[in-house]
Structure 1
Amino acid sequence: MMPLTMAKAGDTVTIQKITGKDEVRLHLAELGFVVDSQVTVVNEIAGNLIVQVKESRLALDKTMANRIMVG
């Protein structure tokens, strides 16, 4: 298990765990970041990520991406 920030552009990973406060986890869940879902890293700029979740592309800053543990 590693934080999402460790994934490289083009990698498709599965979310294993989401850490942080309840409101942070709820916000990420509303965006589609739920355990066992697939996430594809589209691009990475200075630790900030652009990811594809389901049919949406989202930008995540480094601190938020570090809370998403993938495998």
Structure 2
Amino acid sequence: MATENAAAISRTNIKSRNPQTIISQHAIPLSMVDAGRKVSIKSIGGRDKTRSFLCNLGFVEGAEVSVISELEGNVIVAIKGTRMAISKSMANRVMTL
């Protein structure tokens, strides 16, 4: 009986890990999102100063962002009702789903 319970727990843990793995495999940098597409922010990478800067602009986990276009190395986005341009290097740090 104890062996059956341990096996059931192991199966549950494996199942609960798989969706996270699948999600992280499909996350892409904001810089690679096609114009006209709306995505959700999964995570923000980079140094504390960079993450803080992006957070102050509204780039936080779970926020929805639309890519408007790309212009001269900048990514034009709409987030929280505001359009703005961020550099491609900043957009590379924003992982989306």
Report the counterpart of residue 10 of structure 1 in structure 2: 36
Letter in 2 for 1:15: I
Maintained 8 Å contact 1:5/1:47: no
Report the counterpart of residue 40 of structure 1 in structure 2: 66
Maintained 8 Å contact 1:8/1:44: no
Structure with greater proportional helix content? 2
Q: Count how many residue pairs are aligned between Structure 1 and Structure 2.
A: 71
Cα shift at 1:12: 0.2
TM-score (norm. length: structure 2):
0.70
Structure with greater proportional strand content? 1
Q: CA RMSD in A?
A: 1.0
Instruction: With a CA cutoff of 8 Å and minimum separation of 6, indicate the structure with the bigger relative contact order.
Output: 1
C-alpha distance in 1 between matches for 2:71 and 2:84: 13
Cα shift at 1:68: 0.3
Query: Which secondary structure does the structure 1 equivalent of 2:91 belong to?
Result: helix
Report the counterpart of residue 19 of structure 1 in structure 2: 45
Share of identical aligned residues, percent?
45
Query: Which secondary structure does the structure 2 equivalent of 1:60 belong to?
Result: strand
Larger radius of gyration: 2
1:66 maps to 2:92: yes
Cα shift at 1:46: 4.8
TM-score (norm. length: structure 1):
0.94
Query: Which secondary structure does the structure 2 equivalent of 1:64 belong to?
Result: helix
Letter in 1 for 2:91: A
